[in-house]
Chain A
Amino acid sequence: MVVIIRNPLYSAAMLVLTFFSLAGIYVLLNSEIIAVLQVFVYAGAIMVLVTFVIMLLNLRSGALINKPTHIIRSVVAVIFSFLLFICLISIFVSGNQVENAPKGVITAAAIESEGSFQLFSRALFSEYLLPFELVSLLLTVAVIGVVVLIRGISGAEENKQAKKGQGR
């Protein structure tokens, strides 16, 4: 649906639906924290950002509505993704040797008794503390980068207007 629909706003709405369904699947998989994070981060933050950008661009021009693609290109893309599908499925089907690998301690019973949130946060804040801090650093750098990008462009426009004003 996200791919087929022409209007990007509607395909964003379909993507929100997909994210919510995936959150339900994570609940089925016994990892509630990932489901909660999925709803918060993806269906909340990222999709709000995407919708905001779509609205912002739509106000300026109607160029956002997708033009129809060439039929050859669509056919080639579908064939390629189907081949990829076959490859991945065959990889996963033939990969049964992994069954003998050593298993961890986070069994379904452990999740039942301790709660998946506790287990997750214990792992996150002890074993993976350094990557956690690095991720927070990365997010800060991303925010600074966005501000610099947008300010650079609007600053250049202001300079142009200022020069025009001086020319007059």
Chain B
Amino acid sequence: MPESLHIFQITETHYIVLSVILFCIGTAGVLIRRNALVIFLCIEIMLNAVNLALVTFSRHMDQNRGEVFVFFVMAVAAAESAIGLSLLIVLHRQKKTVDVDEINTLKG
């Protein structure tokens, strides 16, 4: 392989950098958006970034544990999405909004 093509070879570092970028996009989305649904989607992005890092490290260490952990993360994310979305529906029925800035009942 010529020397100029060397940087195009995908290594584990690239996967880790991609996962960090995804996590930061998710964080920015959670901070910027006010819609509770979009915040939920951004949390899913962050979970996926962590999953990618776990799989990458488990491949790097030649182990299986990272993948099993990703499996559990996915199951917990499914449960969390079910509960979170039903909470969102209940909130929308009671308050008629999903804007997190307007839901400030707990504010002292």
Contact = CB atoms under 8 A, between A and B. Distances in A.
Contacts of B58: 31
Range, interface on chain B? 35 or more
B55 A146 contact: no
Interface string A100-128: 01011111000000000001100110011
B37 A53 contact: yes
Interface in A76-93: 76-78, 80-82, 84-85, 88-89, 92
Contact of A103 (B62, B64, B92): B62
Interface residues of A, dominant DSSP: helix
Given A42-B74, A107-B62, A2 B48 contact: no
Contacts of B23: 84, 88
Contact of B41 (A29, A50, A106, A149): A50
B28 A78 contact: yes
A37 B71 contact: yes
A80 B32 CA distance: 11
Given A106-B63, A119-B64, A150 B89 contact: yes
A89 B17 contact: yes
Interface of B: 10, 13, 15-18, 20-25, 27-29, 31-35, 37-38, 40-42, 44-45, 48, 51-52, 55-56, 58-59, 61-65, 67-68, 70-72, 74-83, 85-90, 92-94, 96-99
Given A25-B18, A106-B62, 16 more contacts: A19-B48, A31-B59, A34-B71, A53-B37, A57-B98, A64-B98, A73-B32, A81-B31, A84-B24, A89-B20, A92-B16, A106-B64, A123-B65, A131-B72, A142-B83, A145-B83
Interface of A: 2-3, 8, 11-12, 15, 18-19, 22, 25-26, 28-31, 33-34, 37-38, 41-42, 45-46, 49-50, 53-54, 56-57, 60-61, 63-64, 66-67, 69, 73-74, 76-78, 80-82, 84-85, 88-89, 92, 101, 103-107, 119-120, 123-124, 127-128, 131, 135, 138-139, 141-143, 145-146, 149-150, 153
